[in-house]
Structure 1
């Protein structure tokens, strides 16, 4: 596993905000929730550095889920705490990782699961807690808050602002100048305009991929959304890969290299092995 996909100092369970006592259902639910939150398409308005961080997090979540959702791999990990040596993952290369993450995402996140999760999550204490934590983390910056709330859309913004204003009034959270400026009329209009622009872009891309005709026949808007995310994500990930390649490189698990290997590596460009 490339070092930039997984920090060996971190426990796989902690990546999914779980403990080793988690059930298979807990693991799947945690991956589903966090993958939706850190999917690159949730961070289109972030800085390049923030998008890189979200992308790495998204890939790490996928790797953790791939191991912990597999009974044999999980048993081995629980015994050794080591992620090296899984034959399935050795020397996969860029194409292998591309197929791996795409299959993982499409296999777990379906139209039905998105709808079920949204219905359970929106308006729940968990959503409120995430909103409060995002407010604190981003010092009231509503632009970043909106990007980091799972299933949050521009239509949820008035509800989120009302919740946060109530929490400020009750002294539950501090008042930040950034919150006042980023929730002013001009800032809200700018976010809505951006959301409308992205919606138009999504519609055009749906036509490009034939998703509007193929999927709307089944009246399955959520499935169309899922497929569109895959299509858009592939395009966006190509750009992100370039910056990650320059920063991290490498496509094999970390290990000690011989002097010959080091000389050989210095003469060739390192390959990156992530994609959605």
Structure 2
């Protein structure tokens, strides 16, 4: 059975882009990130209750191998076909090893360095604006979804949104502009409680004061954000892994 048929059998669609929940115009980075998110949900080690997890994971690996290969992607985009005899799919890959080569594990230092570069960057600004529109101005949801975010960042994030409203980049939404004082206070109280819990976590983990921000980020990653799979560590690993992808055509184990 070919790749398209297997996609339909396991994911109810033979459209490779629909499997990854992206469109045909997605960039290479967007394809990579979406592949990570979907494959995380069916990874055999993380979804042992799914009897088809291993098959889904293998099919996703082949799907990504096609869409990340310039020539293969062009053929699929133009003709809607996949060359099953190509080196991309005919090699006997160990797809778990392939996946880990693409997404190497990150270190504590990687996370802390990312936080320093991310805060105040244009990327953060765009992410905040996107979350503002996505959550219709709800600051509770925006704060819960923004990477590297703690309560002390709220004034800065609000300033980003206010500036975007003033320059016409986004529309003014009542949930943001008319948020009640009571709701703001409730959010601060929750944040204070989370900081206390994070302090306890830091002690349990044996981390020093220099890792305060890391503990808060790990604490935050336990919240529901983007349906529980687009958490902080997943985003960092998918977007900023340092190792390059494995070379095409190299035979796996």
Q: Deviations over 1:10-33 (max 9, x none)?
A: 365949x953xx4xxx689x75xx
1:157 aligns with 2:154: yes
Q: Distance in 2 between matches of 1:132 and 1:122?
A: 14
Residue of structure 1 equivalent to 2:142? 145
Structure showing the higher helix proportion among its residues: 1
**Per-residue deviation, 1:142:** 1.0
TM-score between both structures, scaled by the size of structure 1: 0.47
Residue of structure 2 equivalent to 1:59? 41
1:128 aligns with 2:154: no
Q: Name the CA shift for 1:60/1:116 in 2 (closer, same or farther; >3 Å).
A: farther
1:194 aligns with 2:190: yes
Residue of structure 2 equivalent to 1:118? 115
**Per-residue deviation, 1:128:** 1.3
Give the SS at the match of 1:152. coil
**Per-residue deviation, 1:118:** 1.8
TM-score between both structures, scaled by the size of structure 2: 0.50
**Per-residue deviation, 1:88:** 4.9
Q: Name the CA shift for 1:140/1:226 in 2 (closer, same or farther; >3 Å).
A: closer
Q: Distance in 1 between matches of 2:220 and 2:146?
A: 17
Q: Distance in 2 between matches of 1:135 and 1:180?
A: 12
**Per-residue deviation, 1:159:** 0.7
Q: Name the CA shift for 1:189/1:58 in 2 (closer, same or farther; >3 Å).
A: farther
Q: Name the CA shift for 1:201/1:194 in 2 (closer, same or farther; >3 Å).
A: same
Unaligned ranges ≥5, structure 1: 36-54, 90-95, 241-276
**Per-residue deviation, 1:116:** 2.1
Residue of structure 2 equivalent to 1:243? none
Residue of structure 2 equivalent to 1:216? 208
Q: Name the CA shift for 1:165/1:186 in 2 (closer, same or farther; >3 Å).
A: same
| Mapping of residues 3-18 of structure 1, within 5 Å | 3=11, 8-10=16-18, 12=20, 14=22
Unaligned ranges ≥5, structure 2: 1-6, 47-56, 76-81, 229-253
Number of paired residues? 189
Q: What is the aligned-residue RMSD (CA, Å)?
A: 5.4
Whether the 8 Å CA contact 2:137–2:176 is kept in 1: the answer is yes
Q: Name the CA shift for 1:112/1:127 in 2 (closer, same or farther; >3 Å).
A: same
Q: Distance in 1 between matches of 2:192 and 2:137?
A: 23
